[in-house]
A and B are shown apart, each in its own frame.
Chain A
Amino acid sequence: MEIVDLSTLPDSEARYTEFLKQVCEKHGIDHAAYAGMNPAAGTVAGYVTYGDDWKSHYQDQGLIMLDPTLHMTKRSIAPVDWSRLERSDNFQRVFRDAHDFGLSDQGVTIPVRGPYGDIGLLSATRDCSREEWKKQLSHVIGDLQSMAVHIHDTVVSSDEVTSSLYHPTLSTRESEILQWVAAGKSQQDIGDILSISHRTVEVHLRSSREKLNALTTPQAVGRAIGIGLISPG
């Protein structure tokens, strides 16, 4: 696989690292990193908020070949707390070096599996007590899951090969609900109109947002109208 250095493109570097910085700020995390593997396009993409000194050390030492937060975590469906990887020699090797650059070995990696064998990994790290970390994680993990899928889908669909495959297909229920949202109805109203639970409406909306790669419902409505999946108002 060829490593695409997307950071050479001024547009995307600003875009993705800015997104990761926002995630850090929002959730009180020291650093965040995204790595994506796209076998359909044969590419690997990576964005990090780490300093340049660590980035070049990581590259020079070929740590990408060893890093268990990249190679092991994709075999889990759940976020992997790095304490699960501690016993591997490669973990000790990578994080001994990381320690010299002031980086903590406390973190989590969220694996994302896409429909075409594509895999995305969003990692977050923070230097704090174990108890504090566990507590923080339980609060933010749901949102980090959504952020992981969002950045992954954005990266994958920015590739020409996969973007031609990656077109959103909403179910009848999903477009129906989105159409009611466009008509100004609340989730409660929509549940009543369609005789389904309020939570079912929420679940379908969440799914529609993800399929349309939108973080908010208004964005999703806008995109659905834009590509003709629903009609305006």
Chain B
Amino acid sequence: MIIVVDGLNRHLFSEVLDEMFELRARVFGGRLGWDVNIQDGKEIDEFDNLDPAYVIGLDDGGNVVAAVRALQTTGPHMLSDVFSAILCGEAPIRSATMWESTRFCVDTQRLNRGKDKNSVSYATCELMIGSLEYAKSAGISDIITVIDPVMDRVLKRSNCAPYDYVGETVPMGKVSALAALLDCSDERIAGVRDFAGIHHDVFLDEEKALAMFEAKKTANSNPANRDHKPLTDLEKYFVEQMNAAKTEAERQDVLRLIESLTDTFTPEQKTALLHTPRAFAHEA
């Protein structure tokens, strides 16, 4: 699933953005060895303060698995500034209908190498579809994208080969960087969709995304998942009772007792005890 976060809604998605900045730190600071500024485990540069748009890929659990950043080429952007080496000192392209895309990254640790929904390939294609469709709906006809040679090969393999390149391939960290041109045409989008077998709408609307993150947060604060928080004596007692119960009738008695102590437990604790009593067993 893809969400678009920009200056208008970023206050609603600050945790998602933090997760994305952490992914960027692992990819660009770690794997690619670029000279990027990492603070607090997050890679953030001056262009992140210019209200860019982020196209972000999420897995079914609401975790950030892929992301890319877009800026207009009419104003400040990376090729006009920090990536000017790629253009060999030449003036960058400036166009109302061209966006620049940078910091394209995918979480290769969380994803697998196959072609299913949780694969690097699927997440990469879904993000390409999301960014091409978002740009196209904004009236953008071309994207100039700063990538490394590995990403360039991925694009070619995914039915999304750049139609041309601008400037030169220059060394950058452990790899090198180049600027490629992609059109936001229906043909290109259809090509990637066919390759990946993705034929549904990839976008998740704002409200559904917020509901999903809310659910994720609740799940994380659920006692059943709070591995490090010690159980209260009363919780331990019930877990012991539950383990000791030999018949269904005895189990029902324990459940009834939990039920009757409604005021002692928070609703979350109660739900956890009622539904997953065995989850506590190892801690008791």
Contact = CB atoms under 8 A, between A and B. Distances in A.
Nearest to B52: A77
A76 B74 contact: no
A164 interface: no
A174 interface: yes
A145 B140 contact: yes
Given A141-B138, A199-B164, A204 B93 contact: yes
Interface stretch (B94-102, B195-203, B210-218): B94-102
A170 B91 contact: yes
A203 B72 contact: no
A203 B74 contact: no
B95 A77 contact: no
B71 A203 contact: no
A148 to B, nearest CB: 7
B87 interface: yes
B39 interface: no
Interface string B75-107: 110001000000100111111111100000000
A77 B72 contact: yes
Given A76-B51, A145-B96, A199 B139 contact: no
A211 B8 contact: no
Contacts of B93: 171, 174, 203-204, 207
A110 B93 CA distance: 20
A174 B167 CA distance: 12
A79 B96 contact: no
Question: What secondary structure prevails in chain B residues at the interface with A?
Answer: loop
Question: What secondary structure prevails in chain A residues at the interface with B?
Answer: helix
Nearest to B134: A78
B53 A203 contact: no
A76 B140 contact: no
A172 B90 contact: yes
B183 interface: yes
Interface string B150-181: 00000000000001101000000000000001
Interface residues of B, number: 37
A200 B91 contact: no
Interface stretch (A6-14, A54-62, A97-105, A111-119): A111-119
Nearest to B185: A199
Given A77-B6, A203-B181, A211-B94, A197 B164 contact: yes
Interface string B124-166: 0000000000100111111000000000000000000001101
A135 interface: no
Nearest to A142: B139
B8 A149 contact: no
B198 to A, nearest CB: 21
B7 interface: yes
Which bracket fits the contact residues of A?
35 or more
Nearest to B51: A75
Contacts of A190: none
B139 A144 contact: yes
A114 B76 CA distance: 7
A113 B87 contact: no
Nearest to B138: A78
Contacts of B95: 203, 206-207, 210
B242 interface: no
B70 interface: yes
Given A113-B72, A171-B90, A78 B97 contact: no
A113 B74 contact: yes
Interface in A65-107: 72-80, 84
Contacts of A200: 163-164, 166, 181
Interface in A197-215: 197, 199-200, 203-204, 206-207, 210-211
Interface of A: 72-80, 84, 110, 112-115, 138, 141-146, 148-150, 169-174, 196-197, 199-200, 203-204, 206-207, 210-211
16 contacts: A75-B6, A76-B6, A78-B53, A79-B139, A84-B8, A112-B74, A112-B75, A141-B137, A146-B97, A171-B92, A199-B163, A199-B183, A200-B166, A200-B181, A204-B93, A207-B93
Given A72-B8, A77-B51, A79-B139, 20 more contacts: A73-B8, A75-B6, A75-B7, A75-B8, A76-B53, A77-B52, A78-B134, A78-B137, A112-B75, A112-B96, A138-B137, A142-B97, A148-B96, A199-B142, A203-B95, A204-B93, A206-B95, A207-B93, A207-B94, A210-B96
